[in-house]
Amino acid sequence: MKKTKNKKNNLLKSNYIQSWKYIKETSTFIWVITGLFLIFALIGFFIPIPDVLEKTILDYIREILEKTSGMSSGQLILFIFFNNLQAGFFGLIFGFLIGIFPLILTIANGYVLGYVASVSVASEGAGSLLSLLPHGIFELPAIIISLAMGLKFGMFVFQKDKEKSFKKFFINSLRVFVFLILPLLIIAAIIEGGLIFFGR
């Protein structure tokens, strides 16, 4: 029994160490995704938005608010968790298409966040940005790392041994997703769901 427990502990420790190692190897892609996200967040914040695009974003936000309006705190947490899980996982997995999908998601998410922040500041003042901080403190790093790994995943096509690189990027990306991103998304959902529920 003790040996089995030690094996499990060693397996968890080994996967956790390997996950951090792969994140270090992916650091260039993390910086690229972070930079791109910030650029489009600033564009969304400072540059006037076209009417058609504004309507699309507002319709999307309205739809989410309608879906979550009657939810309990537990339901909200699950909704937020699965929503973020889907975004992060698809951003990673569909990165094999030369990293195009993660780039599109990065641009879209950055722009929408910038726009929402500008609306918040316009209606409630600059201090409202501080209230948005707890919502993204765990969620944003998790999503950014997922998208960065998706972008790196797509680079397998430029490697000499494409099959070997595909397997390596895929397995390491899934390991990071399970051992690092998943816990971050769970924490983010609990914090965000609680804040939304008790802030009503």
**Backbone phi and psi for residue 198, each to the nearest 5 degrees, phi listed first:** -80, -10
Per-residue model confidence (pLDDT) at position 84: 87
Per-residue model confidence (pLDDT) at position 7: 62
Total structural domains within the chain: 1
Contact 26, 149 (CB under 8 A): yes
Q: Which domain holds residue 121?
A: 18-198
Per-residue model confidence (pLDDT) at position 87: 86
Is 97 among the domain residues? yes
Is 187 among the domain residues? yes
CA-CA distances (angstroms) from residue 107 to 65, 80, 114? Answer: 23, 20, 11
Other residues' Cβ atoms within 10 Å of the Cβ of residue 168: 15
Is 135 among the domain residues? yes
Is 9 among the domain residues? no
Per-residue model confidence (pLDDT) at position 50: 83
pTM: 0.85
Per-residue model confidence (pLDDT) at position 62: 85
User: 97: which 2 tokens?
Assistant: 């298409």
Per-residue model confidence (pLDDT) at position 128: 63
| Tens of each residue's pLDDT in the chain, 200 residues | 555 666 666 778 888 888 899 999 999 999 999 999 999 999 998 988 888 888 888 888 888 878 877 778 788 889 888 988 988 888 888 776 767 889 999 999 999 888 888 888 877 766 666 666 766 788 889 999 999 999 988 888 777 787 888 888 888 989 999 999 999 999 988 888 777 766 55
Is 27 among the domain residues? yes
